[in-house]
Structure 1
Amino acid sequence: DGMDGEQGIQGEAGQNGQDGNANVITVLFENKAYIAGITDFIIPEITQDILDNGVVLGYLSAINNRWLSLPYNYGGLEMHIFSIQLNKLLLASNDDGGSNFRFVIIEGSAGNRPNKKGGKSAKEAIYEELEQAGVDINDYDAVANHYNIPN
């Protein structure tokens, strides 16, 4: 084995990969039964950091497999996210039934954490960023498109 030769010229840069959604998690519950009152959804992805700095958006698929935002009120059925807690979400409903539910969990990034001088909270920064991007959080498809969430 002889001496190494001269360093060759730098190759061309590769193509950029598709943007990811490392700060967004979706959780799907298919054919989830709910009751008149409070129904628990066990979601380990709801961490203390999400409670402190993140946002959880909820959707159900009730009509024509379209995702409709929570709170939901149609045809006498009312439901809304009652509470978001560590590792779970509580859904309030005025009737029994079953549906598909999808929750979009958005982490607060380092860039939108509150500063010590009393700036906006990470949650407010997430909502503001979505609003400035023209994303209607009541439209699941718009949220999914913004965060590159596969359907």
Structure 2
Amino acid sequence: MKTIRITVMAVMCMGAMLVSCSGEDGTDGVDGIPGLDGVDGVNGADGADGVSCWDLNGNGIGDEKEDVNEDGNYDSLDCQGVDGQDGADGQDGVDGQDGVDGQDGADGQDGNANVFYYVLNLQGFSGNTINFDILDVVSNPQDYAFLFYIKDDQFSLYNFVPGNYRGNLQFTTLQFKAGQNNADVTIGFFNKADDSSYFVPEGELESLMIVAIEKGTQVLNLNLKSPQENVLSELKAAGVDVNDYHAVAAYFGLE
């Protein structure tokens, strides 16, 4: 019995010691020092520059045939063909007899009589040059400015002449040769890789759209060096992309 009491007392003493040895929770420790920032990454390389509209072969150099207006500069004014020489004045015709006055017709809708387009059918054409007489379009070409667009038969795309043709593999040039009785226009096709002639196979082209703008039109009143420059400057100022035939046609009220 004595042994049992001693054992019980020992257990109670141990319990009291355990209770007395359990202290209160300590305060939180101080935060550590933040780590250093990582090193910035290397900047990416700049992208390649685009190709200027006058740079027909895309080599970044002003070549002789690319100075279309022959002013010694290579700029946006070289993106259009050179004006042809004025043709010789024709002889005055014989006055005809006065006709009988007709009845007045009904008023029509307002139109743009100073701007029109002419379509030259190119179906069945093949070769590396297109030649035609602008006198088939107007009888007095010196009084007009012209914009030319070749329509691709396969993709129905309008390619501004002179400029890129069917993407970036080929390009076109434009020349006027005015004589006393004719005003020939020559459109040439070339490969960008080596400036060699490009042969257009039959069935590749559909038509040539010729936009004729008379000098009396508002866009030709800027008094610049040529009617072509007047048109290009006016379209640029109006935010119209000359390479987009539909935008040009809409601007002049042709569609």
Q: Which residue of 1 aligns with 2:185?
A: 89
What is the CA–CA distance in structure 2 between the aligned matches of 1:84 and 1:72, rounded to whole Å?
22
What is the CA–CA distance in structure 1 between the aligned matches of 2:244 and 2:119, rounded to whole Å?
16
Point out the structure with max Rg over C-alpha.
2
Q: Which residue of 1 aligns with 2:132?
A: 41
Alignment check: 8 A CA contact 2:176 2:183 kept: no
Q: How far does residue 78 in structure 1 lie from its aligned partner after superposition?
A: 3.0
Aligned counterparts, 1:74-85, within 5 A: 74=167, 76-83=169-176, 85=178
Deviations 1:64-104 (A, max 9, x none): 21222122333643322233644442111221334121111
Aligned-partner residue type, residue 58 of structure 1: F
Aligned counterparts, 1:16-27, within 5 A: 18-27=109-118
* Residue 66 (1) aligns with residue 145 (2): no
Q: Would you say how many aligned residue pairs link Structure 1 and Structure 2?
A: 128
- Structure-2 change in CA distance of 1:122 and 1:88 (3 Å): same
What is the CA–CA distance in structure 1 between the aligned matches of 2:116 and 2:155, rounded to whole Å?
24
Indicate the structure with greater strand content.
1
Alignment check: 8 A CA contact 1:67 1:140 kept: yes
SS at match of 2:253: coil
Q: How far does residue 46 in structure 1 lie from its aligned partner after superposition?
A: 4.2
Q: Which residue of 2 aligns with 1:140?
A: 245
Q: Which residue of 1 aligns with 2:215?
A: 108
- Structure-2 change in CA distance of 1:39 and 1:147 (3 Å): same
Q: Which residue of 2 aligns with 1:13?
A: none
Alignment check: 8 A CA contact 1:32 1:101 kept: no
SS at match of 2:250: helix
Runs of 5+ unmatched residues, structure 2: 1-106, 190-197
Alignment check: 8 A CA contact 2:145 2:212 kept: yes
SS at match of 1:141: helix
Q: Which residue of 2 aligns with 1:120?
A: 224
Runs of 5+ unmatched residues, structure 1: 1-15
Alignment check: 8 A CA contact 1:57 1:104 kept: yes
Moved more, 136-145 or 17-26: 17-26
Moved more, 140-149 or 87-96: 87-96
Moved more, 78-87 or 64-73: 78-87
What is the CA–CA distance in structure 1 between the aligned matches of 2:253 and 2:158, rounded to whole Å?
16
